[in-house]
Structure 1
Amino acid sequence: MTRRSIREKLVAIVMSTTLAAVVISVGTIIAYDLRSYQGALRHDLATQAELVGHMTSAALAFDDPRLARENLALLRTRPSVRAAALYDAHGQLFAAYVAPGEPNVFPAHAPHTDARQHGKDAYTRDGDDLVLVKPIAENGDTLGTVYLRADNLLAERMRDYILIGLGVTLLALLTAYALVRRLGQSIITPIAAITDIAREVVARRDYSRRAPRISQDEAAELVDSFNAMLTEIEQRTRALEESNREIAREAQERARAQQEVMRLNEGLEQRVHERTTQLELANAELEVAVGEAHAANQAKSAFLSSMSHELRTPLNAILGFAQILASDAMPTTLEQKKEFSSHILKSGRHLLTLINEILDLAKVEAGALTLSMEPVALAEILTECRGMIAPLAAARGVAVQFPPAPGAVLQADRTRLKQVLLNLLSNAVKYNREGGAVTLDCVDAGPQRLRLTVRDTGIGMRGEQLAALFQPFNRLGQESGPQEGTGIGLVVTRRLVEMMGGTIGVTSSPGEGSVFWIELATATPAGEAGAAPQEPQQARETAAQAPGAPHLVLYIEDNPGNARLVREIVGFRPDLRLVCAADGQAGLEIARAELPEVVLTDLNLPGISGYDVLAGLRRDAATAHIPVVALSANAMPRDIERGLAAGFMRYLTKPIDIDKFNEAIDGALKQKG
């Protein structure tokens, strides 16, 4: 059997997966488009036949073939129509039209089809042409029949799509091959290093060799375990050699004294006991390592679930508003189109920021990010940050205060230092109160150390929020107002600061703002910069109310874009009236006060979750009967199963499918009725 390397297997898996995905997606798109094209062609031909019937009905009624031919001649503006004919009520050819270069051949009598006999349109194929036979009726009487023959370009369109699909498939396979060849090194290199060391150890019996630790993932844990195994084997080999020497020495001295032999035997037993104890300790350490690996795997699963939620949240607004703009059943004004496009752009930019931050985090975690440490003039970095943060601060009415031009020079990576400062400053502006202030200080923190402090006048954070602040996808407990954030920026910021040999910290008090600080090494002594105290201020947000309609629907959602999307969807249904709440507690109060007929709720809400809202409604006898529909970006199968098991009538995932959304609302209203 041919031996295949890990690299070859990885390439085969990625290429086969890519091929299957591209073939399925491209095939689905082609089939859908061809079906839509065939329907559009038939609809267009039926429209032409309808127009011809209306135009020629008078000619048929007054037996005027000349007028009928003039009306049919207007089809020359439709190049796709090759020929047309008009038959009277007795099925006799009354008038005809042929496009230039087409044969003047028509059926002598109107074609008889089951559909025509029942007053319906009849479609047939004549070679590459599509033929339509449509009766002309007026006041319930059949005046005649329209016969149209047009080009059917379906086969040509199918050939074009097949060529395009082959090109897309080839390009996707080439791209996937290039990416796996490049990115696969991070997986293959550690395993190859362990393999080479293992071969050398087996060949030379040199147990002092150690495999290098070149990553920070499961492969690194494998390297550590491999090295620990070599260490144990080396120790046991030395112990065995020492034991052999002791046995030889005991054999030489056995004749001298039996007591000496007994002493040596006791020493040997003691050493065996020590080695056994060491082995038990090693096994215990291995069990701890396995437990840590299991915990790391659970953390990774939680991270992926949270990442899925964060990716689907902006996609919900993008696809939802796009469905409204693309739907003929939901006409929109120019102002609405502009507003919906603005929501789509905002969510798209947020999604791009999220993806970029995830990539940065992945690079840092994989050890693929390299820094260029050099002396960096702090004054230049602060000048660049001031210019980039000023527009954001001006838009929110936040004053940003920078220290006088400091003369300090930091030992850091210039690009990553600017990234760290911009992230701290932008967070301080976004999570600040309107008309608040952000102050940046720089002070001497010890020998060859400088502390940079960013102080804001926002709502601050509690102790439990600070404890989880530097975890991925943590957005300050989602209590920081309507500002969107991924929760990744601070994780990347901390890793970058640590890679530059620095430290980062935060202090905060609810209602008084937060202070983020970083300490870095200086290349030259740095001066001190003052800071001005700021006054605390609480930020508040009000929930918008939707106009009235017969059936009252309550929607609990903390994301303004998602709330607006549902408001617009419901706006196209005059039988509904929507009321929105920005958090779970407000939603419970509205439900008890107004008793809606249906409740829609997100699951990740500030304060209490969607599950707590469901439980609160069920505990109250006045609201226990109200159907509750979950509407969440948590789209993992286990999330859906958990929601349905908790008692939600339906579990809809974001991005919203408008048809399923309306179906769920109708089902809830029927259930209540």
Structure 2
Amino acid sequence: MTTCVALLLSATALLIYELRAYRDAWVADLATQAHLLAGASVPALFFDDARAAGQDLALLRHRPQITAAAVYTANGELFAHYAPEGATANLPAHPAEDGYRIAGDEIELVQEVRRDGERIGSVYLRARYEVMGRLVDYLAILAAVMVASLVVATLVFNRLQHTVTRPILAVAAAAREVMEKRDYGLRVPKTTDDEIGALVDAFNNMLLEVGRRTEALERSNHELQIEMEQRQRAQAALILADRRKDEFLATLAHELRNPLAPLTNSLEILKIADADPATRERTRGIMERQVRQMVRLIDDLLEVSRITTGKLVLKRERIDLPIVLRTAIEIAEPVLRERRHEFVARMPDGPVWVDADATRLAQVFANLLSNAAKYTDAGGRIELEMDVQAQCVAVHVRDNGIGIDPRMHGAIFELFMQVDRSLERGRAGLGVGLTLARQLVEMHDGRIEVHSPGLGHGSQFTVELPLCHDPAASRRTPERPASGLTPSVPLDLLIADDNVDFATSLGEVLEALGHRVMLAHDGVAAMAAARARPPAVAFLDIGMPGLNGYEVARRLRAEPATRAALLVAVTGWGQNSDRERAREAGFDHHLVKPADLAQVLPLVESVARRALQDAPVTDRPPG
């Protein structure tokens, strides 16, 4: 189209130019001819010689294009004329104005004749104006040129089209495929180094950059999705933990109220003056059991806290596992007997040595036996079986109780998780026992597993521990704490605690053993009592009014009379940091409330024995 339009414009301009040139040539030719005739006709007009003028006009027979000619006088009368042989002149009666005129296929020209500047006549010429033939010829030539030019342009176009459009089509195809397949690794081959090549390079670079950004965006979206999933899981875990916390607090309140009720009733019974000794003894037993229950609940919580914070240290030694299991059975025996279960224990006759903390392992198996007893209806069957293998020993605790849903096998070892929360189950505990058992077993390089076919089909807990094969290790067995001691030497003791009931009750116990006890309920009173009668042993609470226990200990260490006293911190704070702070203040021992007499009495007795050894022979009591 571009070539065709250019050729048409060129041909039209050329044709117009040729027509004008053809016209101008004819006009110039006729003007020259008329000028010659005008010069030749001057004498004839001057002498009125028409025959001479006719002879001059007759010379035009050599110009076949001229169809008529004439000479007119100054008055416009025809003076002489010419017409080709056999043709009619058809001359005008009077000449027109000077100049030329084209009419159809003829051209007429009038030229004046002058002599000495005076007009004496006119020359008239008429000739054939064959412009149509010439126009047809030119059109034919231009048509041939245009056809040839278009053929050449087409050939050139077909070749250039592939050079120009092939890369563009390739870019378009690649763009379409990228949109459909999201494959940003596609590239368009570069064939030239011109503008098209620059376009291909730009497109390929664009694909590379888009691919990088898309990959980064997808990676970011993937990471965001993972983070959202983690946050959702964390949120779900927080919701679950919050729900378990509420359930735990409710259970804790319930479990703590259970011992408080019989304790309150027992106190009322003891207020009755005429209660018989048997009733008082039963009441004392009830109070002891309920206090032990409360201590056990608090100890479980403290044990879990110590393990999760990494502050629990095992006292591992080579021990005989059957002895540990017998200790656990003795601990769980009251609940087994209370629920009238049939209990069967199968253990090897010989020793089975493991490297472990005997107290902690006994705690694990006692917990498993207690759980089996609590979650088995009265009159059920509980079995404990030991299976000694090549590298390890497995202890199985089986019951035919309520069983565990297989979906809960992993969850029951989580903190505060309870499988059965029904009110009918009664005292189900705080949900920390299995968590504590699993953590203690793992600290012994062992593992604990549970298997249950389902609800109502009982359950089995298996504890696997590595065997100890060192024959050179000394045999160690768990020791039991002493339940009471008889004092060797009466001592002066100081008990300072703002809890009047605790201080009074502990003082009565120690006085019953023959010691002399001073009571104080604030730090200032404790210092006054110590100065009045320096104690051999001082039991000091930390959070006392006036002066706290740390300050009292520092002052006792600073005074010569009390510097050698045995200082014992008795407090509810039991973290390692609390023990370290007590040691820095000058305390020798750190006991966590409620302090057991099995902890208090050996400390007092150790001082009494040392005093007995240091006393003169005459001052020592007999025996």
The structure whose Rg is larger is 2
Q: What TM-score, normalized to structure 1?
A: 0.33
Give the TM-score taking structure 2 as reference length: 0.36
